Structure 1
Amino acid sequence: MVVANKYVVDLNKPLVFQVGHLGEAYEEWVHQPIISKDGPRFFHSSFLEVLTRTAWWVIPIVWVPVASWFIYNSFRLGLPIHQLPLFVILGIFVWTLAEYLLHRFLFHIQTKTYWANTLHYLLHGCHHKHPMDSLRLVFPPTAATLIALPIWSVVKLVCPPSIAPAVFGGILLGYVMYDCTHYYLHHGQPKSDVPKNLKKYHLNHHYRVQNLGFGITSPLWDKVFGTVPPPSKADAKRR
């Protein structure tokens, strides 16, 4: 059990409808990670519980065909085939910015009311509290759809009809890369320097400076917006 704000969170009971009672203490509580591969129970209902668990391989199986369908629609609507890769790559690049903005301003929004705490815990807080829970690391397709729909609406608004599907298809491919990369940074054992550095960068966000280092697939936008974490004391000594 964890005592916070005079409320006791019982880690042996379903958590979702408990965490809201933490009030202003929720922010501190949720950033005290429990390092265990065994995830907590969220709901009493077995049906709801199943909906919160998603294996990483579900992401490419669901979303790569959807992205391919959107990209094909651009071709069907008259976009020359030699231009398709350009707008798909543009979509992937747009995703990297969306990834950063969502992570910084939505996933790390500070909450203190009962329902705001509860919703935040479901959205992202659970991942910070139990960062090694492998079945709650990637987004369930239903939750991802709720985020994808408004993004598609914006893309349709700013892009010509023949280009919008290719850009959105690229955004979906960028999302697949993001979620699979995110899973790998937690559970993979990289051997080369680039993934090693990305893993270190992301775990630093979890365990040392949670309010900085929002990039997952790249620290690019952290550098642009000034949210790169300062080096640790060990890194500073090595320099």
Structure 2
Amino acid sequence: MAASNKWLMSSAAYYLDFFTVPLFVVLALCIAPFHLGQALAGLLAWSLVEYLVHRFLFHSLYRREHWTHHLDVLAFIGISSWKTSSAYAGLLVLAWLTGLTSVFIGVIVGYFFYISLHYVMHRPEHWAYRFVSGLATNHDLHHRKGIEKNFGVSSPLWDHVFGTYVRVQALNTVEENT
């Protein structure tokens, strides 16, 4: 499959979410009371959205663009922070109007966790890599050509629920027996 430059961006556009997401959290905390249960529900909702988007959009509709990331994991490839920040601004207004600001906080904290983990997973020299090596192993397996498994980056929860989780040891056993 040919690579695509459609999602290639500047370093500023790539890193902007690392600054805007914490600002959205602070803003949300300033405009409404915090409810831990709602935030946890939002975090769980984010993990499901992450899984579904990765599995059904990035590996089908946007396969070519996503495959570019698989080919060059250190390139500044992804959805522009300008787009995600615009979407989160709209979601914050909607959450505030509906009384679900803490759900919004959980969702974007989940997103922040996802982008942070994904960044570290592709940089074994990073100081935090040792804390995520198990998740990184799952994600590295996902990057192998022909492996359509392990779509959850920040958690394997939904891979277990939907039967798309595979361990490296299990895959190696299957490969040895074929």
Task: Sort the TM-score into its range (normalised by shorter chain).
Answer: 0.7 to 0.9
Q: Decide whether the 8 Å contact of 1:139 with 1:179 is kept in 2.
A: no
Q: Give distance in 1, aligned partners of 2:82 and 2:138.
A: 29
Counterpart mapping for 1:54-203 below 5 A: 54=11, 57-75=15-33, 81=34, 84-109=35-60, 120-122=63-65, 124-133=66-75, 135-136=76-77, 139-145=79-85, 148=88, 152=91, 156=95, 161-162=98-99, 164-189=100-125, 190-192=129-131, 195-203=132-140
Q: Decide whether the 8 Å contact of 1:91 with 1:169 is kept in 2.
A: yes
* Aligned residue number for residue 161 of structure 2: 224
Shift of 1:219: 0.6
Q: Give distance in 1, aligned partners of 2:151 and 2:57.
A: 11
Q: Give distance in 2, aligned partners of 1:125 and 1:209.
A: 11
Q: Give distance in 2, aligned partners of 1:234 and 1:182.
A: 27
Unaligned runs of 5+ in 1: 1-25, 31-39, 76-80, 111-118
Give the CA RMSD over aligned residues. 3.3
Shift of 1:160: 7.8
**Which structure has the bigger radius of gyration?**
1
Shift of 1:206: 0.4
Paired residue secondary structure (2:166):
coil
1:206 aligns with 2:166: no
Stretch moving more, 56-65 or 164-173: 56-65
* Aligned residue number for residue 7 of structure 1: none
Paired residue secondary structure (1:96):
helix
- Residues 96-150 of structure 1 show CA distances to partners (whole Å, capped at 9, x for unaligned) of 111001101111115xxxxxxxx6544x2321232232x22x5421232465478
Q: Give distance in 1, aligned partners of 2:25 and 2:130.
A: 30
TM-score, reference length from structure 2: 0.77
Match for 1:86: what amino acid? G
The number of residues matched between the two structures is 169
Distance 1:73 1:188, change over 3 A: farther
Q: Give distance in 2, aligned partners of 1:160 and 1:58.
A: 26
Distance 1:214 1:145, change over 3 A: same
Paired residue secondary structure (2:102):
helix
